[in-house]
Structure formats: C-alpha cells, structure tokens
Amino acid sequence: MPDEQESLFAAVDALLEEAAAQDALPHPDERKRLREAAGLSQDQIAKALSVRRETVTSWETGRTEPRPPKRAAYTRLLDGLATLHPVNAVNAVNTPPPPTPETPPTQTPSAPPTPPPTVNAVNATPPPAPTHPHPQATPPAPPTPRTPHPPRTSSPHPNPNPNPNPRPRPASPTPPPHTPLAVLDGNGQAHATNGLVLPLPPKAATDLPTLISWALSEDADLRSPRLHRNGKDGDPLLVLTPEATEALGLPLTLADRRGLRLPDDHPVVRRLTKAKWQLTRRGFGPWARVYRPASPTTGRQCVQLAVLPWGALDPRAWGEDTADLPAPEIALLLTTYATRVLTPRGSTAVTGLELMTALRPPTRAARNPETNVWESAPVPGSLTRPVDPAPPEAPDEHPVVAALYPRAHQRTPDQVLDEEAYDWIRDPELLTDAECARTHAVGIDVNMAFAAAANRLTVGLGPAVHAPAPRFDPKVPGCWLADLSAVPLDPRLPNPFTPHGKPPTGPAWYATPTLAYAQELGHAVAPTEAWLRPDSGSYLDAWYTRLRDAYMATMADLGVTADLTDEAFLRAMAVHKQHDPALAAVLSAIKATVKGGIGKLRERPQGAGYRPGEAWPALERPTWRPDIRAAVISTARVNMHRKMRKLATADLYPIAVLSDCAVYLSDGPSPLDFLPRTPDGKPLPGGFRLGVSPGMVKHEGTQPLLWAVGLLDEGHNPARHIKGHDAAADGE
C-alpha cells in the first residue's frame, strides 16, 4: 500500500509540475502572506525544497521565479497553505500593507514585494548591486535576523488543539552572500569580491553558452537587488580578462574598430544563436547583453558581458591601468562601484543614465479593478514615455529641426537653446596693477558640480506646451525666449547668460534657471515666447542622493571626510589617490558617471551611416531629454556665477573659468591664500568653500602668474591647463 501511494503521489507530482510550468504562481505578496500565516520561516521552506533561504526570499519578492521541478513542489505547498489560510481568514489581518509606489525600498536582500513584471521584461533597466564594502570601508552592520515562527504540525489537516509552545526547528546555515558580478581569469576561476572564488562547471571556461547558463543558475547566485520596488533586479555581469577572452574563442582585438562589434558570423556568435540566446541591437561588443525573451515560466534571462581587452573600462573614466589589474582586484573595485552606484551595463555614461531609470522606473504593475488583471501603469514622478523636444531644445540633427530649417541652416540664439558649461577667459586688458603684482594663479574646482545642480531641481516630466505670450514663472520648467542683453554686469566676471561668458546680443532662448537668475539680479524678465512643461517634479533627487553617498563614502575610504579642517582637507586631497589605486579608480568612475549621465540625456546620433534629419535609437528612450540636461547645466553655471559674484564683493575676480573650475590670482600657492574670510575667521557666506561635499571646492592646481598671463594673451584658457596638462584629457 505505501509503495502504491508513493507511486500515485509521484504521478500527481508530475502532473503538478507540468501544470505549474503553465500556470502563474500566486502573487509574491500572497506567497509571503501564506508562509507567515502558517508560522513558517523561510529557512524551513528552503530546507524542505532543498534551496537556499535567499532563493525563497527572491520568490517572495518577485525577483526570481522557481523553476521545475521545485516550481511544482512550491506550488503544491502554496496551494495547501491557501486551503488552510484563505485570504479572508482572521490571521490575514496580520498581513503588512503593501508599500506605496513612491517609497523606495531599503537596500537589503529582502526588498519589498513587487507585482510580477508585465512590460519590457528583457530591456528593462537593471538595478544596482547589494552592499559589498571595500576592505578599507566601514563594514555595514549585519542584518537583524528574523525570529522564525513556530512550525505547524505536519498533519494535512488543522490541529484543533495545537501545542501553544512548539519547539522551533534549527535554522539552516546561512549561505555565503550573493555578488553582482564575477571576473573570469581564463584558468577556470570566477573571482568575486573579498577573495571569493566561484567554481565554474568544466565547460564554462571555454564555451560561452555554458558560461551564460551558469551565470543565471542558483549555483552562481550573481544578482543585485532593485533600487526601487517597481524596478528590476540587476542582471549578472561577467567580466572577461584577456586570458578568459582567448579561452572562450574570442579575439583579443576587434577587427571592426568603427562599430566595435564582433561579426555576426563569428563562431562564438553562431554558438550563442544555436543555443537560442540573442544579442541586443548593439551586437557583441565591449559591453554585450545576451538574453532570451522573457516568459511566464522562465522569467527574465539576461547576462551582461564586459570584455576588457576590447576597452570595456574606458581609461578616461576608470584610470589608465585599471583594466590590467589582476582579476581579484578588478572584482573588488567593480563590486564596490556596483554596490555604491549600479552594476555597470556599459560605459559610465550609460550607467549614469541607467541609474536614473533604476531609481525611478517608468512603469509598475497595477491591478485593474474592473478586470482584476495586472496591467502596466506609470510610476508617479518618473519619465514614462518618449516625448519630442521643443524646437529650440532639439539638436541640429533632430527631425524636428529638419522640418523647420534647410539642411545647411545655422540656427541663431533666438532659434536654439544654448545652455552649456562655461569656457571663458578675462580680457587681459582688464587685469589691474594689484592683480599683476600677485605671484600665483590658483585653480579651485567645484566637487560634483552637475550632481549638486541636480539636487532639488524641478524638471519637466511630460511634453512641452507652446506659450506665445507667457508670464515668467520661475517654478515652471521649460525654455523661454527673452532679451537679456541690457542686464548690466561687471566685465571682470563671465556673463551668466552665455557659455562663452560674453554678453548676449539680443533675444535668445534660456532655460528656466537662467531666466530666474536674471530676475534675481533685478532684471524685469519679459519673455515673448516659451515652451513649458507644467507636468514637473524633482526627477533627479534620488539620482543625486545615490551618487552623493557613493562619492562621500569613497572619499572617506581614501581619507577625506567632511569633518576635516581646511588645512587638513588640503593635505588629505594632496595624497588621497595614493591610498588605494582601486578606490581611486572607483572615485574617478563615480565622477564620470555624473557627467556622462547628464550628457546622455541629449545623446547625439552615432555611426557613419547616419543622415541628418533621421531619427536615431536614443530618441526611443523616455530618458532622452535635452531639456533636463539644459536645466542641470544652466543651474550649475548660475551657481558658479553666484559664488563668483559673492567673491567680487571682496574685490576678487577670476581670470578664467572652465565648466566647474575657476582660476584666481593669489599671493600664495594655496586656495587659503586668496579665499576671503569673515572677521571671525569663517569662510565668506555664499562664496566658495573648501570641503569634500558636492558643491564645495577643492584645490585644482597652481601655476606661476606669468604662465597664466601668457595663456590669456594667446587666447587660451588657463583653467584647462592649471593642473599642468589638459583637463579634458581626464574627462573633466
């Protein structure tokens, strides 16, 4: 009899497995409710199903879905619990209410439950990685263990007289923490952070389809939690060293130097295709994405590849020698970046843009009250769909411009919005005798200037609306046609309304922050036309906070903290990159993520085959928003001018400005030799202030006075060379 019963159960289990492969499991919220209603811990379920506790956590948050044969067993468990604990039972009152869409989750492996993904499952943005601190960083406190509920009796029927004090079962040992990425060394080893080496299957080191399958398996456990409850978990990242690249049959150098992609008929690409893996539109290049279309049974299957010998880590962002470091060190620095910013999906510019979407996803799953079906709904405060730019906001190549002007037409300031960073030098004739008697030219640079400008900045979320005769409102984002040529300003300061620092000559288009500053200066602002975005919000606030925290944490690891005195700050900054080259590379990448992410908001067409007036792929993104880029740069330039104007009250005027760097003449080589102080020794309120926080300044470099004056006479910008080399070479 027992053998017959086991045989029948096995047959039923096979049917259940087949059904489970077709039917959707209960909503993740319901999975968690059923377990807690039964008084079961995640450890107990993990032990019963022979999986790890983190796997059960992923099932209950919707990050992953169980696969056969465990899917059938898990479904059977939930069905049984649903019979014992229906949704209207008394114990359902203990179910925690679902969090609001606007509330971002705490960054722990147990993220808030999320409805099942319904839209763009393959191409959705992956969120950043879990916390894996650098050895020099202060390790986070371990998560508070959840006290397991007492287990239920194993009887299939409820016990009318349950033991009020049952003995809890011992918890399973905690498995090692997951990691967002692995670096392959070509010798059959995959290096993760903190010296962790993940075992590879025998064929994975030489066969890419096998390697991809391993990266998605529970054995590898390569993942990173979402940053927003409506976002997606991060896809695994595999980093290929030169040795690993050769072992997988890939060339060390791409023959296509323009397109930077492997030919579609390459044997490795053919093997991927045969294994039913696909590549995104950009093909197999330095940053390749390999995926299979999502389905209800398999869920999201996507792996990111970074090929180091093909230039995946741009030396301008990551440092000259970063790609040549040993595999364990590359794993450490990339995991630190992934933990603090986002698991890289491409260049730092691409990652900066993807971070915006990871923190504010465009859509969420919402149940239609009429049909009781899950549907896609916009997330409040996010960029939810692509919108056309207003004609002044569009770059010259855009179809909107092509429809208005002939191909060779050069747009004038009253036809195009020109909000760019400063590149200005003072006329040498305006140097005073007192300034010429000084001995040094000292450059000061604003920390994370574009990130600081994005903080609390109101930007448009929807399409622009044309206003023929508007009344200026500094709270409404958009662009305005106005004449600011009559605003009187000191010629020893750059003009705040133009990137070249010279006064405007007539009507021109300005972003809202620029026109608001003109009003702040006392000018009667009277725009004649505008393109406005009444649907607005602080879209970049979370982006700023994430990058600020990453920057501050990395600077602290390098010995530069917010509590240092000015003298100690300058000393620490002089040697901070020597503490740890890997952390210095992370710091460089964080700063490049800020500037590159803002730049990507107005990505121009790429490739030799492009023809002006045609649409290009970037226009399909909700985050292709040149108006937001213009607002950020406008705010950064205005902030810079406001502080320079404050120093002018102490008779200090710059001789050159380049983006976020200003050069002043000084009697000594240090910023402390010229930055003004109040009578009680504090920095001048509203002026430049030394410090590590975004918006404060650091010492950029010092050169002799005659060197700076010579560059001015030749029409060159001393701010570009104040370090002793071209600042643009460092991506600054």
Evaluate if residue 300 carries a pLDDT over 60: yes
Are the beta carbons of 401 and 617 closer than 8 angstroms? no
Amino acid found at 581: P
Please choose, from the candidates 412, 634, 625, the residue with its C-alpha nearest in 3D space to the C-alpha of residue 516: 634
Q: What are phi and psi of 694, to 5 degrees?
A: -55, 135
Domain ranges of the chain: 2-94, 181-363
CA distance 60 to 86: 18
CA distance 421 to 659: 5
Q: Which token pair is 438?
A: 């000084």
Which tops the pLDDT comparison, 199 or 537?
Answer: 537
CA distance 418 to 400: 17
Q: What average pLDDT does range 689-699 have in this prediction?
A: 97
CA distance 355 to 344: 10
Of the ranges 35-39, 168-172, 378-382, 597-601, the best mean pLDDT one: 597-601
Q: Which token pair is 445?
A: 């640079």
Evaluate if residue 206 carries a pLDDT over 60: yes
Confidence of residue 675 (pLDDT cuts 50, 70, 90): very high
pLDDT digits (tens, 9 = 90+) for 129-150: 333 334 333 333 333 333 333 3
Residue 592: the pLDDT is 98
Evaluate if residue 250 carries a pLDDT over 60: yes
Question: If 0-12 CB within 10 Å is exposed, 13-18 middle and 19+ buried, where does residue 664 land?
Answer: buried
Helices 208-215, 267-274: inter-axial angle, 10-degree rounding: 50
Helix H or strand E encompassing 552: helix 541-557
Torsion-angle region of 448 (φ positive above 0: left; ψ -120 to 50: alpha; else: beta): left
Are the beta carbons of 611 and 424 closer than 8 angstroms? no
Please choose, from the candidates 53, 185, 107, 245, the residue with its C-alpha nearest in 3D space to the C-alpha of residue 549: 107
CA distance 395 to 573: 39
Evaluate if residue 273 carries a pLDDT over 50: yes
CA distance 569 to 683: 14
> In angstroms, what CA-CA distances link 223 with 44, 130, 215, 216?
23, 8, 9, 9
Please choose, from the candidates 726, 278, 692, the residue with its C-alpha nearest in 3D space to the C-alpha of residue 447: 692
pLDDT digits (tens, 9 = 90+) for 460-509: 999 999 999 999 999 999 999 999 999 999 999 999 999 999 999 999 99
Count of CB atoms situated within 10 Å of the CB of 522? 8
Confidence of residue 122 (pLDDT cuts 50, 70, 90): very low
Least confident of 27-36, 324-333, 403-412: 27-36
> In angstroms, what CA-CA distances link 243 with 196, 197, 384?
19, 17, 42
Q: What are phi and psi of 436, to 5 degrees?
A: -70, -15
C-alpha dihedral sign at 346, 350, 353, 357 = negative
According to DSSP, residue 312 is labeled S
Are the beta carbons of 260 and 346 closer than 8 angstroms? no
Which tops the pLDDT comparison, 348 or 128?
Answer: 348
Please choose, from the candidates 374, 382, 693, the residue with its C-alpha nearest in 3D space to the C-alpha of residue 555: 693
pLDDT digits (tens, 9 = 90+) for 526-584: 999 999 999 999 999 999 999 999 999 999 999 999 999 999 999 999 999 988 889 99
Residue 434: the pLDDT is 95
Q: Which token pair is 653?
A: 């005027």
Pairing, β 656-658 against β 423-425: antiparallel
Residue 155: the pLDDT is 31
Residue 606: the pLDDT is 85
pLDDT digits (tens, 9 = 90+) for 706-729: 999 999 999 999 999 999 866 554
Residue 12: the pLDDT is 55
Beta bridge partners of 440: 666, 704
Tell me the percentage of the chain whose pLDDT exceeds 90. 65
Are the beta carbons of 460 and 478 closer than 8 angstroms? yes
Confidence of residue 165 (pLDDT cuts 50, 70, 90): very low
**Mean of the per-residue pLDDT values of the chain:** 85
Residue 22: the pLDDT is 46
Residue 14: the pLDDT is 52
Confidence of residue 256 (pLDDT cuts 50, 70, 90): confident
The whole model's pTM is what?
A: 0.77
Strand order in the sheet with 423-425: 423-425, 656-658, 661-666, 440-446, 697-704
Torsion-angle region of 221 (φ positive above 0: left; ψ -120 to 50: alpha; else: beta): left
